[in-house]
Structures are given as C-alpha cells and as structure tokens.
C-alpha cells in the first residue's frame, strides 16, 4: 500500500489520500475565489439586522445567492424565513450520503449582529460552495447530497426546533455549523434553556389617596426577582437564571396593575433543567401569594437542549483546523465555561453534528456593541473563511472515510443513549411546573 492509499482502520475500504488532499486544496481554492461575494453577502446581512422569525431580507439575500449559482432552492421552507438549498452529485451504486450546513441570520434587539450570525451564515455558505466545488472536480466515492439549511430564530424562539418538527433533518447524515466566539474550540458546553414569561395581575388604585384599594403587581415582580436572587445561592454552580422586567407599571401615582418579567433558566441537562424549573416556579408563585396578585407563567414554545458533543467529528475538525493554522484553545476556563445555549442542541439529538466556535480577530465578547463591530469588520473575514474551509474539509473526511462516519454514528448513539437514560421520566415533571399550555394570553 502506497503512502497515498491507506487502508481504513476496519480494513473495509481504501481511502484515496491523494484524491482527498486534492479535494481539500480545491475547497480552499473555491472559497478564496468566492471570498469577495461571501464577504458582500455577510456584510449585507450585517448591515440590516433582523430579529427572530423576521429575517426577510437575509432570507432573500441567501436564497438569491444560491439560486444564482444553480442550487435547487426551496424558499420559505416550512417557515417564512427558513430555506433549503441543495445540490446532489452524480448517482452512484453506493447509498447517498447527505451532509448539511446550517445558517443562522437573526440579530439581537438594540445591538444588531452582536452574536455574529451574519458570519455563521457566511461560514455555512462558504463551506457548501467549497465542498461542492471539490466534489465536482472528482468522482466522489458515493453520491453526495449537500444541503444548506437556513434556520431562523436562534436568539429567540428556536427555528431549528420548528424545522425538526417539520421533518427537515430526517434524511441527513451529518450536520455542520460554526459559531463566532473569542477562541477556536471544536466544542464548548452549550446548555439547556427554558424561557419563561411571568405575568402578574394586580389592581390599579391612586397610590397616595387610597393605596389600600390596590394590588401591587410591581411588588410581585420585585419579590419574584429577589426570590430568584435568593435561590441562586442554593443553585448548582452550572445552573443559570437571569431575567429582565419588561413591564414595570406606568406611573408612580398609579398602583401597577400589571407587570411582566422574562427569565431564562439554564442547566447542563434537561433533567437538571426540570428541577430548576420547579424551583423557579415556586419563586414566581410565592411572589403572587405575598402580594395577592394573580400570576401566569408562559413558557416559550421550545426548550433548547444541551449540545451533544461528538468526539470523532471534533477530532477531525481539529486536525483540519490545525492544518489551516488554527490554534485551538487549551484554556480550561474557556473549555469548561458555559457558553450559553443554542437550538443546535436539539439538532444533535436528531442527527450527529458539530458546532465549533471560532475566533474572529477580536477580544470583544458576544452580545456587546463591540462584538457587533467585530462581526462586521474586514478582519473577521480571514477567520470566518478559515473556519468554513475546516468544516468543508471535515465533511470531505466523512465522505472519503467510511470508518470515520461509522465512528461518528457510534459516538452519537452512545451520547444520545446516555442522555436519554438520564432524562427518562422528566418529561411530565417539567410540563407540570410550567403552565405554558394553559396560558391563553401568550
Ligand atoms: N452559545 C450560543 C450563543 C448564541 C446565544 O446567545 N443564544 C442564546 C439563545 C437564547 C434562547 N432563549 C443564548 O442566550 O444562549
């Protein structure tokens, strides 16, 4: 066996290493060739930030981009601002392999693209173009379908969960995306999240003349906020609860008759999240009892699940990234920090996938004005395209090495089984502690 033709570990297939290398080079060339168009696409998304489920301009930009490059595009795919663009290589005798790249393109209220979702879209578009270009230049070992899935509403709502329910992931083998951060990391722990809106209904009254006639909904909101602060000391260190007051009353001389808060509850597993949810619900109800208000808890329609890591995919991504000059963080504080939550977590319970984080040339932190600036900077481009190359090269490894795919599937099954055993029996408990279903006004 020559150095360029290695037998795969299980001895079932041979990997044509020189072809794989040639394809990886082609990925880089195609992405470099398209860099101007990719930058323009990401700039156009960045300049007109849109909130969850309202990403109409981004949807139009992305679907037009793929239509003009002869991809088969399904606009408004199950959701107004979702889309699916696909390309399939020539048929072959072996079964088709379906890889998908996920785009996000929603922004944050008041801050614009402070989480760099314009760059997430760019990474996936670039990776898909690069991969297609590489596969068009050779005869791949099997028929390949590449899908770019436009997934709206990551910051609020969970478009991927809607798309899972619509069956969008059912025929996919491996899914890829990457998220802007401060470091390159193949995996950072994204934890489960439950969003809840808390509404207090009291009774208005003149605050000086006859306050005793009123029922103070602002007092309930403040007590709820403080109850949660007190709970925090007894929470697991890996749990997070944070909230804002969205309505706090209208005028000092009117006893507030209505207040509204929004909280995010987070924990590393759905099992812990159910426990946290019960404790937080008790805090919200206690505030209502103390003030005589009525309380309504409205859960958002989708909880996000924790992201299941896939060590085989992560390792392949790291190897490709290193070849491209990435310096993956070894800082334990970063690797073990809780990086938030994502609806990609739910996707990892459906299909094996990878959600690496990437440096964008700035120390700025996500969800700040500084990060918005960094996500729109020229400097971010180099890192964004490098990430796209590494993702596409990892997809090539999956395509050319059947043992790798088998190992990815094995990792996924093990992780999923472990999680599902841990989570068994929580479904009803979690439902009971949130009155979302009975919340007519949400
Ligand atoms: N780790 C991914 C970062 C993206 C992000 O910030 N997502 C939001 C999602 C909130 C959904 N309620 C987050 O706050 O973690």
The tens digit of pLDDT for each residue in 69-109 reads 999 999 999 999 999 999 999 998 889 999 999 999 999 99
**Does the C-beta of 342 come closer than 6 Å to ligand 1?**
yes
**Does the C-beta of 115 come closer than 6 Å to ligand 1?**
yes
Q: How far apart are the C-alpha atoms of 101 and 347, rounded to whole Å? A: 12
pLDDT for 439: 60
The dihedrals phi and psi of 123, each to the nearest 5 degrees, come to -55, -50
DSSP state of 182: S
Q: How far apart are the C-alpha atoms of 112 and 395, rounded to whole Å? A: 31
On whether the CB atoms of residues 257 and 202 are closer than 8 A, the answer is yes
**pTM higher than 0.90 for the full model?**
yes
**Does the C-beta of 341 come closer than 6 Å to ligand 1?**
yes
The tens digit of pLDDT for each residue in 114-153 reads 999 999 999 999 999 999 999 999 999 999 999 999 999 9
pLDDT for 345: 98
**Does the C-beta of 181 come closer than 6 Å to ligand 1?**
no
- Report CA(158)–ligand 1 centroid distance (Å): 10
Residue whose CA is closest, atom 1 of ligand 1? 340
Pocket test for ligand 1, best of 188, 193, 346 (most atoms within 8 A of CB): 193
Residue whose CA is closest, atom 9 of ligand 1? 155
- Report CA(394)–ligand 1 centroid distance (Å): 25
Q: Which residue has the tokens 């597993």?
A: 269
pLDDT for 13: 56
**Does the C-beta of 303 come closer than 6 Å to ligand 1?**
no
Locate the ligand 1 atom nearest the alpha carbon of residue 158 and give its number: 11
Locate the ligand 1 atom nearest the alpha carbon of residue 339 and give its number: 1
pLDDT for 8: 41
pLDDT for 331: 87
pLDDT for 268: 95
Q: In the predicted model, what is the mean pLDDT of the chain?
A: 93
- Report CA(375)–ligand 1 centroid distance (Å): 16
- Report CA(340)–ligand 1 centroid distance (Å): 5
Residue whose CA is closest, atom 3 of ligand 1? 340
pLDDT for 94: 85
**Does the C-beta of 193 come closer than 6 Å to ligand 1?**
yes
Q: How far apart are the C-alpha atoms of 321 and 301, rounded to whole Å? A: 37
Pocket test for ligand 1, best of 116, 153, 155 (most atoms within 8 A of CB): 155
Q: Give percent helix, percent strand, percent coil of the chain, each to the nearest 5.
A: 45, 20, 35
Q: How far apart are the C-alpha atoms of 96 and 367, rounded to whole Å? A: 40
Find the Cα–Cα–Cα–Cα dihedral 120, 389, 321, 331, rounded to 10°.
-10
- Report CA(133)–ligand 1 centroid distance (Å): 33
DSSP letters for 183-233: SBBS-----EEEEEEEEEE-B--BTTT-GGG-B-HHHHHHHHHHHHHHHHT
- Report CA(341)–ligand 1 centroid distance (Å): 4
Selection from 86, 99, 105 nearest residue 41 by Cα: 105
pLDDT for 435: 41
Q: Which residues lie closer than 8 Å to 359 by C-beta, 6 or more apart?
A: 181, 182, 183, 184, 326, 383
The tens digit of pLDDT for each residue in 9-57 reads 333 456 789 999 999 999 999 999 999 999 999 999 999 999 999 999 9
**Does the C-beta of 192 come closer than 6 Å to ligand 1?**
no
**Does the C-beta of 339 come closer than 6 Å to ligand 1?**
yes
Ranges of residues in the chain with a pLDDT under 70 are 1-14, 427-442
Pocket test for ligand 1, best of 191, 341, 355, 357 (most atoms within 8 A of CB): 341
Q: Which residues lie closer than 8 Å to 144 by C-beta, 6 or more apart?
A: 88, 89, 96, 97, 98, 99, 135, 399
CA distances from 160 to 52, 150, 427 (A): 12, 9, 20
Q: How far apart are the C-alpha atoms of 336 and 339, rounded to whole Å? A: 9
pLDDT for 432: 46
Pocket test for ligand 1, best of 307, 342, 345 (most atoms within 8 A of CB): 342
Q: How far apart are the C-alpha atoms of 341 and 307, rounded to whole Å? A: 8
């Amino acid at each position: 066996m020559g150095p360029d033709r290695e037998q795969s570990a299980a001895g079932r297939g041979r990997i044509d290493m020189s072809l794989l290398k040639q394809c990886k080079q082609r990925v880089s060339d195609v992405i470099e060739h398209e860099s101007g168009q990719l930058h323009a696409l990401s700039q156009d998304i960045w300049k007109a930030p849109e909130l969850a489920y309202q990403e109409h301009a981004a949807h139009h930009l992305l679907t037009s981009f793929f239509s003009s490059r002869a991809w088969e595009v399904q606009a408004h795919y199950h959701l107004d601002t979702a889309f699916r663009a696909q390309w399939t290589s020539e048929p072959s005798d072996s079964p088709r392999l379906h890889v998908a790249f996920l785009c996000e393109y929603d922004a944050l209220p008041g801050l614009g693209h402070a989480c760099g979702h314009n760059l997430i879209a760019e990474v996936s578009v670039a990776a898909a173009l690069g991969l297609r270009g590489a596969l068009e230049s050779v005869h791949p070992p099997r028929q390949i379908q590449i899908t770019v899935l436009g997934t709206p509403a990551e910051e609020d709502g969970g478009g991927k969960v809607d798309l899972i329910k619509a069956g969008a992931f059912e025929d996919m083998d491996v899914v890829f995306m990457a998220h802007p951060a401060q470091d390159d990391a193949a995996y950072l722990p994204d934890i489960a999240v439950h969003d809840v809106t808390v509404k207090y209904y009291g009774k208005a009254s003149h605050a000086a003349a006859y306050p005793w006639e009123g029922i103070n909904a602002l007092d309930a909101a403040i007590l709820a906020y403080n109850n949660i602060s007190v709970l925090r000391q007894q929470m697991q260190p890996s749990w997070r609860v944070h909230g804002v007051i969205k309505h706090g009353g209208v005028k000092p001389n009117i006893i507030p008759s209505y207040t509204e808060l929004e909280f995010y509850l987070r924990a590393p597993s759905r099992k812990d999240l159910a426990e946290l949810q019960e404790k937080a619900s008790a805090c919200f109800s206690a505030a209502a009892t103390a003030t005589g208000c009525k309380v309504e808890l409205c859960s958002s329609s989708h909880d996000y699940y924790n992201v299941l890591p896939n060590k085989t995919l992560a390792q392949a991504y790291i190897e490709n990234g290193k070849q491209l000059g990435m310096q993956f963080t070894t800082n334990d504080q970063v690797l073990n920090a809780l990086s938030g939550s994502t609806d990609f977590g739910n996707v990892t319970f459906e299909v094996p996938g990878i959600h690496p984080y990437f440096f964008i040339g700035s120390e700025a932190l996500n969800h700040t004005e500084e990060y918005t600036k960094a996500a729109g900077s020229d400097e971010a481009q180099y890192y964004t395209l490098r990430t796209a190359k590494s993702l596409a090269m990892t997809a090539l490894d999956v395509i050319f090495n059947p043992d790798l795919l088998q190992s990815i599937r094995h990792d996924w099954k093990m992780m999923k089984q472990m999680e599902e055993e841990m989570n068994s029996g929580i479904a009803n408990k979690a439902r009971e502690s949130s009155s979302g279903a009975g919340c007519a006004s949400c």
